[in-house]
Structure 1
Amino acid sequence: MTTTTIRIGIIGSGGIAGMHAAAYKTIPGVEIAAVADAIPGKAAEFVERHGLSGTLAFDDYRELLQLDLDGVSVCTPNSAHRQPTVDSLEAGKHVLLEKPMSVTLDEGLDMVRASRRSGRMLTIGFQPRYDPNMKLIQDIVRSGKLGKVYYVETGGGRRRGMPGGTFIRKELAGAGAMADIGCYSLDLALNALDYPKPLTVSASTFNHFGRNPVYHPEADRFDVEDFGTALIRFEGDLTLHFKISWAMHLDSLGTTNFLGTDAGLKITPFGQGNWSGVWDGKVGSIQMFHDFMGGQTMTQVPLVEHAIDLFREKVRDFVDAIREGRGAPIPGEQILIQQAIIDGVLRSAEQRAEVSVSVPDFAGGPAED
Structure 2
Amino acid sequence: MDLQSVVQEAVAPRPKVARPIVMVGSGGIARDAHLPAYAKAGFPVAAIVDLDREQAEALAKRFGIPYVASTIGEAVAYAPADAVFDVTVPAPALTTVLAQLPDGVPALLQKPMGETLAEATEILRLCRTKGLTAAVNFQLRWAPNMLAARALHATGALGEIHDMEVKISTHQPWELWSFLATAPRLEILYHSIHYVDLVRSWFGNPLGVWAKTVRSPTTPDLAATKSVIVLDYGDSKRVFITTNHSHGFHPKRQESFVQWQGMDGAMRAQMGVNLDYPKGKPDTFEHILRGDTEWSESPVRGNWFPDAFMGSMGSLQAFVQGEATMLPTSVEDAIDTMRTVEAAYLSSERGGVALPELGW
Q: TM-score range by the shorter chain?
A: 0.7 to 0.9
Say whether residues 1:306 and 2:324 are aligned partners.
no
Q: Tell me the distance in 1 between the aligned counterparts of 2:162 and 2:16.
A: 45
TM-score (norm 2): 0.74
Report the CA distance shift for 1:82/1:158 in structure 2 as closer, same or farther (over 3 A): farther
Say whether residues 1:32 and 2:29 are aligned partners.
no
Q: Tell me the distance in 2 between the aligned counterparts of 1:122 and 1:272.
A: 27
Report the CA distance shift for 1:139/1:35 in structure 2 as closer, same or farther (over 3 A): same
Q: Which residue of 2 aligns with 1:125?
A: 137
Q: Which residue of 2 aligns with 1:230?
A: 229
**Is this contact kept in 1: 2:23–2:45, CA < 8 A?**
no
The alpha-carbon deviation at position 16 of structure 1 amounts to 1.5
Q: Tell me the distance in 2 between the aligned counterparts of 1:273 and 1:310.
A: 15
Q: Tell me the distance in 2 between the aligned counterparts of 1:353 and 1:6.
A: 49
SS of residue matched to 2:165: strand
**Alignment gaps of 5+ in structure 2:** 1-14, 354-360
Q: Using the TM superposition, name which of 305-314 and 102-111 deviates more.
A: 305-314
**Is this contact kept in 2: 1:178–1:244, CA < 8 A?**
no
The alpha-carbon deviation at position 256 of structure 1 amounts to 2.8
1:178 maps to which of 175, 180, 188? 188
Question: RMSD of the alignment, in Å?
Answer: 3.7
Q: Which residue of 2 aligns with 1:9?
A: 22
Alignment of 1:281-320 (within 5 A): 283-288=283-288, 290=290, 292=291, 297-298=292-293, 300-307=295-302, 310-311=307-308, 313-314=310-311, 315-320=313-318
**Alignment gaps of 5+ in structure 1:** 213-218, 355-369
Q: Which residue of 1 aligns with 2:75?
A: 64
Q: Which residue of 1 aligns with 2:243?
A: 244
Q: Tell me the distance in 1 between the aligned counterparts of 2:128 and 2:328.
A: 15
Q: Tell me the distance in 1 between the aligned counterparts of 2:42 and 2:284.
A: 32
Q: Tell me the distance in 2 between the aligned counterparts of 1:238 and 1:113.
A: 34
TM-score (norm 1): 0.72
Q: Which residue of 2 aligns with 1:337?
A: 336
The alpha-carbon deviation at position 233 of structure 1 amounts to 0.8
- Structure number with the higher strand fraction is 1
Report the CA distance shift for 1:344/1:275 in structure 2 as closer, same or farther (over 3 A): farther
How big is each residue's C-alpha offset from its partner over 1:194-252, in whole Å with a ceiling of 9 and x where there is no partner? x411222221112224534xxxxxx4xx2x21111121213685442111122136633
Q: Tell me the distance in 2 between the aligned counterparts of 1:102 and 1:210.
A: 27
Instruction: Between the two structures, name the one with larger relative contact order (CA 8 Å, sep ≥ 6).
Output: 2
Q: Tell me the distance in 1 between the aligned counterparts of 2:191 and 2:255.
A: 13
Q: Tell me the distance in 1 between the aligned counterparts of 2:235 and 2:46.
A: 45
**Is this contact kept in 2: 1:158–1:246, CA < 8 A?**
yes
Say whether residues 1:100 and 2:108 are aligned partners.
no
Say whether residues 1:152 and 2:172 are aligned partners.
no
Report the CA distance shift for 1:27/1:154 in structure 2 as closer, same or farther (over 3 A): closer
**Is this contact kept in 1: 2:127–2:134, CA < 8 A?**
yes
The alpha-carbon deviation at position 328 of structure 1 amounts to 3.2
The alpha-carbon deviation at position 74 of structure 1 amounts to 1.0
SS of residue matched to 2:29: helix
SS of residue matched to 1:100: coil
Report the CA distance shift for 1:281/1:128 in structure 2 as closer, same or farther (over 3 A): farther
Q: Which residue of 1 aligns with 2:6?
A: none
Say whether residues 1:109 and 2:121 are aligned partners.
yes
Q: Which residue of 2 aligns with 1:202?
A: 210
Q: Tell me the distance in 2 between the aligned counterparts of 1:28 and 1:313.
A: 10
**Is this contact kept in 1: 2:273–2:281, CA < 8 A?**
no
Report the CA distance shift for 1:94/1:236 in structure 2 as closer, same or farther (over 3 A): farther
1:78 maps to which of 80, 88, 91? 91
Q: Which residue of 1 aligns with 2:270?
A: 269
Q: Tell me the distance in 1 between the aligned counterparts of 2:191 and 2:176.
A: 14
**Is this contact kept in 2: 1:257–1:264, CA < 8 A?**
no
